[in-house]
Amino acid sequence: MTILDRFGIEGQVAVVTGGGRGIGEAIALGLAEAGADVVVAARRTDEIEAVAEKIRAKGRRALAVTCDVMDIEQVQSLARQAQEGLGGLSCWVSNAGGADDRVARTLLEMPEKQWDFQMNLNLKAVWTGAQAAASIMKENGGGTIINISSQAANRASPFNGPYAVAKSGVNNLTQTLAVELARYNIRVNGVSPGPIPTEVFMEFLDLKEEDLPEMGQRLNIPLGRIGDPEDISPAVVYLASEASSWMTGQTITINGGS
């Protein structure tokens, strides 16, 4: 086996939540290009069907499963559909996240409903996803769980508090799951992106496409630009592959040096 062979994930079956657009779509397509069959999950059926078609065009199998990750029964069903529909489950990527109303508020102004929504979507759903995936993986001899976090978890995040708090919890959850699941040969790691022009990012900061070329300078990013969804997918492929076989409980930050 060569060093490049260790980065291949041929024959794996991966689930990507929030896989219909942005970072999730890039991750799903990246995993397929590296050799995995992919279950693409999100709430918007038309978007995940489109991503699944792109995966099939790359010669890999794909399922599109409409799923609300805040519904634990739907999450458990998603894991079962991967196992039954594609014959296994070796990689689970918890990417779904964000906010529902995209309004900047201080913590003092935050309604309980919005706090609860963000905790459920950005933290609880990562736990229920890991629980559903691990229950199958431990019977299959192991696997990898990859949680998409955010650099917001690592510092004060005014006007975006619940999201940052939830993502900080994701980092700790990643560490704890890694220790608890190691005996089942299940590795748990995370990826923490910096600014990426996702739908939520654009709406939250009230940005337009023409604003993006200047954002790297405005945000003082040393490499001079904000990220692309495709900047994140290679790290996920690495964490899903044998190249990272002695790595667990870690979160990789990809943010242009900011």
**Residues designated as active site:** 163
Question: What is the three-class DSSP state of 8?
Answer: coil
Q: Which has the closest alpha carbon to 97: 134, 147, 145, 47?
A: 147
**DSSP secondary structure letter of residue 160:** B
Contacts by residues 73-81 (CB-CB < 8 Å, ≥ 24 positions apart) = 75/125, 75/128, 75/129, 75/132, 76/128, 76/132, 78/15, 78/17, 78/39, 78/41, 78/132, 79/15, 79/132, 79/133, 79/135, 79/136, 80/136, 81/39
Q: Which has the closest alpha carbon to 110: 68, 148, 165?
A: 165
**Number of neighbours of residue 211 by Cβ within 10 angstroms:** 13
* Cα–Cα distance for residue pair 102/125, rounded to 1 Å: 19
- Count of residues in the chain: 258
Q: Which has the closest alpha carbon to 86: 11, 8, 188, 187?
A: 11
Q: 91 is written with which tokens? A: 């990689």
Element (H, E) at 43: none
Name the one residue in this structure whose structure tokens are 């910096």: 194
